[in-house]
Structure 1
Amino acid sequence: MDVSERRACRALGQHRSTQRKVPRGRDDEAALTADLVALAETYGRYGYRKISALLKAAGWLVNDKRVDPSTGSG
């Protein structure tokens, strides 16, 4: 396609800086997700803050926002 980055981003309504960096995922994403799901199944009534505290106690370096389902991640 012979469309400039500037024109394509303007047509899609995206900022041009979103096209410059490739998103990086974690190497241990599957293990973190498995641990998070296991804790959520075991402690069904715990909220995201308590689950993230349990993950931190287990040695994970995780932010509360990553565990919170309302933020769209985790």
Structure 2
Amino acid sequence: MDELRRQFRATLPASVEALPPADAADLAAAMREARRTQTAQLMAATEESLSQVPRLIRPLVRKVIGL
């Protein structure tokens, strides 16, 4: 449950608190994988967007957006 609390960054809903330990571990793993997938997709979308920026100013744009 501690890992789920860290991932939710809030108080867990009662229905999640009531989960058996094995199910809570499965949910935590699914959330970790979903965040990894989301991060990868966001990075790919960012790179695709940057391909529309003229090559000479890409480093400046990357710096401005924190990449």
TM bucket normalised to smaller: under 0.3
TM-score, length-scaled by structure 1:
0.26
TM-score, length-scaled by structure 2:
0.27
Instruction: Tell me: higher relative CO, structure 1 or 2? Use CA pairs within 8 A at least 6 residues apart.
Output: 2
